[in-house]
Amino acid sequence: MKALEAAAPGHILLGDIGATNARLALLSDGVLGPVDCFTVADFARFTDAVDAFLSHRRQDLPLTNALLAAAGPVESNRCVLTNCRWTIEPRELCAAFGFERVRLVNDFEATALSLSHLMGPNLYPLGGGPAVSDAPMAVLGPGTGLGVACLIPSAQNSVVIAGEGGHATMSATTRREDAIIDHLRRRFDHVSAERVVSGSGLENLYDAVVALDGVGSHRFLDTPEFQPLHARGNAENVFDRFDWRLSDATSFHLNVPFSIPRPFVV
């Protein structure tokens, strides 16, 4: 970011692009402007969303650089988003909008780079014991999918290991979890952590509980979006049976540190 600011005085396009929402803003002389949120499904291509964003700004903006974080693996300086149809191509953006430079990174790589800047008010201790300074740190979070990355701090240049840890196989610790994962396996063959610990995972869990316990209705999953549970018949009773889902998610979260060098911080 500092390199982009030094090389491009004026305005820099910033983007946080997920599979459900894309957030865009301008960084102007070090000051972050308003963040606009776009629904990914409303646009056939990412360039269409960028065009909609810029159409609300002055056309004579000296906009020459962009820094974008996208929810998918970045390979050969392009990203095919994991859970939607968009592909982000820096060359396409340069041709369409006249950018001189577009930096594209994985979204959790970008999140991992922020970890060393978090201070006391931003942190909540878990597990007891003091934090280990300068230890590798893991970051993970559920959204449309499940993102995972690792930061290895350094006084010179910190290193981020971005991956697709959400596609690791989901494990069970109880017979109840065995039954739910077995049900999901009939649909997906491979049940990854993302099939459970994500937004779509809630739908998968609901479907599994309806099938296993004979409560609720599969038609709930066919609605355009989830409505408040109290307005959805006995959906609330179904979700009451999900008391294991937090422990299942926590189990995956606690396994992540074992895949990075010790000592570690989560």
Q: Of the candidates 14, 260, 38, 77, which has an alpha carbon nearest to the alpha carbon of residue 151? A: 260
Contacts of 155 (CB under 8 A, 6+ apart): none
225-235: average pLDDT: 43
Q: Of the candidates 69, 7, 71, which has an alpha carbon nearest to the alpha carbon of residue 199? A: 71
Q: Is the pLDDT of residue 229 over 60?
A: no
- Express each pLDDT in 130-180 by its tens digit: 878 788 888 888 888 888 888 988 878 888 888 777 888 888 888 888 898
2-111 has which fold?
A: Nucleotidyltransferase; domain 5 (3.30.420)
Q: Of the candidates 109, 91, 112, which has an alpha carbon nearest to the alpha carbon of residue 100? A: 91
The pTM assigned to this predicted structure is: 0.74
Q: At what angle do helices 199-213 and 175-188 cross, to 10 degrees?
A: 110
Model pLDDT, residue 7: 47
Contact 212, 180 (CB under 8 A): yes
190-197: average pLDDT: 88
Q: Is the pLDDT of residue 245 over 90?
A: no
3-state helix, strand, coil in the chain (%, to 5): 40, 25, 35
What residue segments make up the domains of the chain, in order of their start?
Answer: 2-111, 175-251
- Which of the listed ranges 163-167, 237-241, 248-252 does the model predict with the highest average pLDDT? 163-167
